[in-house]
C-alpha cells in the first residue's frame, strides 16, 4: 500500500511538472541565418570561442568566380578527401561544364544541391541552432554569400572497432558477432536479421551537451502500442547533460530504481536482441556503447541463454536447471552453512558434524564472521581482477585464491570447510551473470539473517524477497510472469525448454495481438511505421 501511494505521488508530481512546462511560453533562442557570409562566419566563430580544430575555408566559385562561399567543419570528424572530391571540386571546377548559355543562380541552395553536390545525405537549414548542432555532430556546413540557408552535408569520419564476439556473452554454438560502439552498425546488424517492413526505428536525441542519438527498435504489428508510448514518454522526460552509456538511460527509465533486481535487460548480441524484438519487446540502442537495452524484462529470462535455443532441448533443459541451482547456491550457500553449524547442528549427519568441528577447532572467529571475511576477501579479489590489466588480473586471482586461502587455513584463521563453501558460492555466482548484482547483495543479507535467527531468519528473508519480486513490474509486465500470475502454456520455456515446434505463440504478457507469427495477410495488418528516423553516418 505504501509503495502504491509513493508511485501515485511521484506520478502526480511529474504530471504537474509537465503541465507547468507546457503552459510556459517557449523561449526563442534560435537565430536565423543572414544573407551576409561574413556575418554568419563571425557568429559561428564567436559561438565556438575560436576553437583551433574548426576550419572555415572561404572560396570563390561559379562561371566567373563571382560567387563566394565557405565550408565550416571540425577537422578530426570529417573526411577531408571526400570534401575535396565531392564539394570543392564540383563547386570550383565542375561548375564550368554547366554553362550552356544559361546563367545559374548559385546563391540559391537548391540550385547548388541539385546541380553540383553529388552527396545524397544533405539537409537545408535556416536556423543557427540547427547549423551548430549538425556542425558539432561532425557534418560539413556549406554557406553561400547572399543566401539565408545553409547546406549540411554528411561526410563524417568515424573510427570504430571491428565486429567481434562479445566477451561478456560467449557461446559454443551460435553467431559470433556482437554490437559495437557505432549505433548505425548495430541497427544494420538487427535489420539483417529482421527483413520486414514493420521493423520500426525511432530516433531520440538525449543529453543537453552530448546530443546522443538514441534509437527505439520494435515490430509495429507485434509490440504493444502502450509499451512504445510509455518508452517514448520516459525517454522524452530525461534531462541530463550527457549520455555516455546505455546505463544512464536504464537508471532514468526503470520501474523500480530502489530495487536490487534489474527490470531492464541488456545484451551485446544482435541475435539475442532480435529474438526479444520478435517476441514483442522493444530494444533501446544508444550511440557510443555496445550494450542494447530491452524492455520489458521478466525475472525468468535471467536464467535463459540464447544458446539454449540453438541446441536440442534435452541438454538445454539440464543446463537451465543447473543455472537455477547455481543461483540458489550463490545466494543461500554461506547462510545455510552458518544456520546449520550455529543453530541446527542436529540436522547435520554425525560424521560430517565431527569433520566440521575438527576443522573449526583452531578458528578463533564465530562462523558468521568467518564467512563474512571470506566473502569480503573474494569480492576484493574479483574487483581487483576486473580492474587490473588482464595478465596482472589473472595473476592476482590465482595468487589470492591459492596463497591467501591456503595460508589462512594453515594459520587457523579459516576452516577448510568454509573455503569450500565460499569457493562453491563464488563459482556458482558466475553461472547467472544477469543476476550477479542482486545475488551478491542477497548473499550478505541472508548471511546476516542466518547469523541472527538461523533457519527462521533465512526463511523470512526468502519470503520478503518473493513478496518484493511479486510486486515488481517492468513496463507493465509482472516481473515473475509466467509463475505469478501463473500461465501454464508459458511454462514450456521456464524451468525446462520444450522443443521449438511446441512453442508457437509469443509471450501473452508482452504482446497485444493473438500472438501468432506473421500469418496475417498484408491487407489486414496495421499500417507500417509512421516514421523511421534512422540516420546513417
Q: Does residue 18 or residue 151 have the better pLDDT?
A: 151
Whole-number Å distance between alpha carbons of 133 and 354: 73
> What is residue 400's predicted lDDT score, i.e. its pLDDT?
66
pLDDT for 31:
85
The band of 528, judged by pLDDT with boundaries at 50, 70 and 90, is low
Q: Span 428-447, mean pLDDT?
A: 92
pLDDT tens digits, residue range 47-92?
A: 888 788 899 999 998 777 888 999 999 988 888 888 998 888 888 8
CA distance 231 to 219: 14
Instruction: Give CA 391 to chain center in angstroms.
Output: 28
Instruction: Specify the pLDDT at position 50.
Output: 74
The rounded Cα 197 to chain-centroid distance in angstroms is 24
H-assigned helices in 402-510: 405-410, 416-429, 436-471
Per-residue pLDDT at 9: 53
Question: Residue written as cell 578463533?
Answer: 364
pLDDT higher for 159 or 134?
Answer: 134
Residue 170: predicted pLDDT: 84
Buried b (16+ CB within 10 A) or exposed e, 325-340: ebbebbbbbbbbbbbb
Cell of 461: 528473508
Each residue of 291-303: pLDDT tens digit? 999 999 999 999 9
How would you classify the pairing of strands 282-286 and 199-206?
unpaired
SS3 152: strand
- Residues listed for the chain: 537
Answer yes or no: is pLDDT of 24 > 50: no
Give the model confidence (pLDDT) of 236-279 as tens digits: 999 999 999 999 999 999 999 999 999 999 999 999 999 999 99
d(CA 280, CA 145): 52
Residue 391 binned pLDDT confidence (cut-offs 50, 70, 90): low
Residue 517 predicted with pLDDT over 60: no
Task: Check pLDDT > 90 for residue 188.
Answer: yes
The DSSP secondary structure of 404-420, one letter per residue, reads: IHHHHHHTTSS-HHHHH
* Structure-model confidence comparison of residues 486 and 63, the more confident one: 486
Q: What percentage of residues in the chain have a pLDDT greater than 90?
A: 48
Q: Give, as one character, the DSSP assignment of residue 1.
A: -
Q: pLDDT at residue 27 above 80?
A: no
Q: Are 449 and 441 in contact (CB under 8 A)?
A: no
pLDDT band, residue 120 (cuts 50/70/90): confident
Q: Is 1 exposed, middle or buried (0-12, 13-18, 19+ CB in 10 A)?
A: exposed
Name the band, by pLDDT with cuts 50, 70 and 90, for residue 525. Answer: very low
Amino acid at each position: 500500500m505504501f509503495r502504491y501511494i509513493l508511485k501515485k505521488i511521484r506520478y502526480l508530481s511529474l504530471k504537474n511538472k509537465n503541465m507547468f512546462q507546457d503552459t510556459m511560453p517557449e523561449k526563442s533562442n534560435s537565430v536565423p541565418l543572414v544573407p551576409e557570409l561574413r556575418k554568419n562566419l563571425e557568429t559561428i566563430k564567436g559561438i565556438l570561442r575560436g576553437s583551433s580544430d574548426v576550419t572555415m575555408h572561404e572560396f570563390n566559385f561559379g562561371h566567373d568566380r563571382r560567387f563566394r562561399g565557405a565550408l565550416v567543419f571540425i577537422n578530426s570528424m570529417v573526411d577531408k578527401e571526400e570534401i575535396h572530391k565531392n564539394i570543392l571540386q564540383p563547386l570550383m571546377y565542375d561548375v564550368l561544364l554547366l554553362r550552356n548559355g544559361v546563367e545559374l543562380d548559385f546563391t540559391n541552395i537548391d540550385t547548388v544541391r541539385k546541380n553540383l553536390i553529388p552527396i545524397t545525405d544533405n539537409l537545408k537549414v535556416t536556423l543557427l541552432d540547427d547549423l551548430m548542432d549538425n556542425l558539432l555532430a561532425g557534418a560539413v556546413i556549406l554557406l553561400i554569400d547572399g543566401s539565408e540557408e545553409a547546406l549540411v552535408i554528411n561526410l563524417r569520419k568515424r573510427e570504430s572497432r571491428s565486429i567481434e564476439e562479445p566477451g561478456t556473452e560467449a557461446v559454443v554454438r551460435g553467431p559470433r558477432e556482437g554490437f559495437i560502439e557505432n549505433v548505425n552498425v548495430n541497427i544494420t546488424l538487427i535489420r539483417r536479421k529482421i527483413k520486414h517492413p514493420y521493423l520500426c526505428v525511432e530516433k531520440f536525441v538525449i543529453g543537453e551537451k552530448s546530443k546522443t542519438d538514441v534509437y527505439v527498435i520494435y515490430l509495429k504489428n507485434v509490440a504493444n502500442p502502450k509499451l512504445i508510448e510509455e518508452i517514448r514518454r520516459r525517454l522524452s522526460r530525461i534531462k541530463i547533460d550527457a549520455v555516455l552509456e546505455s546505463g544512464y538511460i536504464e537508471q532514468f527509465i526503470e520501474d523500480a530504481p530502489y530495487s536490487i533486481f534489474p527490470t531492464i535487460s541488456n545484451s551485446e548480441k544482435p541475435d539475442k536482441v532480435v529474438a526479444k524484438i520478435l517476441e514483442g519487446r522493444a530494444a533501446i540502442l544508444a550511440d557510443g556503447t555496445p550494450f542494447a537495452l530491452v524492455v520489458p524484462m521478466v525475472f525468468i529470462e535471467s536464467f535463459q541463454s540464447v544458446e539454449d535455443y540453438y541446441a536440442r532441448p534435452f541438454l538445454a533443459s539440464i543446463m537451465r536447471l543447473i543455472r537455477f541451482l547455481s543461483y540458489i547456491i550463490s545466494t543461500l550457500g554461506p547462510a545455510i552453512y552458518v544456520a546449520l553449524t550455529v543453530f541446527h547442528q542436529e540436522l547435520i549427519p554425525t560424521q560430517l558434524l565431527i569433520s566440521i568441528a575438527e576443522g573449526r577447532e583452531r578458528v578463533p572467529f564465530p562462523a558468521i564472521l568467518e564467512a563474512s571475511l571470506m566473502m569480503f576477501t573474494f569480492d576484493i579479489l574479483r574487483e581487483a581482477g576486473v580492474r587490473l590489466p588482464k595478465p596482472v588480473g589473472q595473476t592476482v586471482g590465482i595468487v589470492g585464491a591459492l596463497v591467501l586461502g591456503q595460508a589462512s587455513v594453515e594459520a587457523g584463521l579459516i576452516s577448510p570447510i568454509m573455503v569450500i563453501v565460499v569457493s562453491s558460492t563464488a563459482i556458482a555466482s558466475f553461472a547467472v551473470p544477469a543476476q550477479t548484482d542482486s545475488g551478491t547483495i542477497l548473499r550478505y543479507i541472508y548471511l546476516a539473517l542466518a547469523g541472527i535467527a538461523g533457519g527462521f531468519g533465512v526463511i523470512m528473508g526468502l519470503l520478503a524477497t518473493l513478496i518484493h519480486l511479486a510486486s515488481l513490474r517492468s513496463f507493465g509486465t509482472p516481473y515473475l510472469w509466467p509463475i505469478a500470475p501463473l500461465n501454464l502454456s508459458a511454462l514450456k520455456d521456464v524451468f525446462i525448454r520444450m522443443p521449438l515446434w511446441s512453442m508457437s505463440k509469443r509471450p501473452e504478457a508482452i504482446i497485444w495481438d493473438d500472438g501468432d507469427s506473421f500469418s496475417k495477410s498484408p491487407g489486414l495488418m496495421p499500417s507500417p511505421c509512421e516514421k523511421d528516423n534512422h540516420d546513417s553516418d
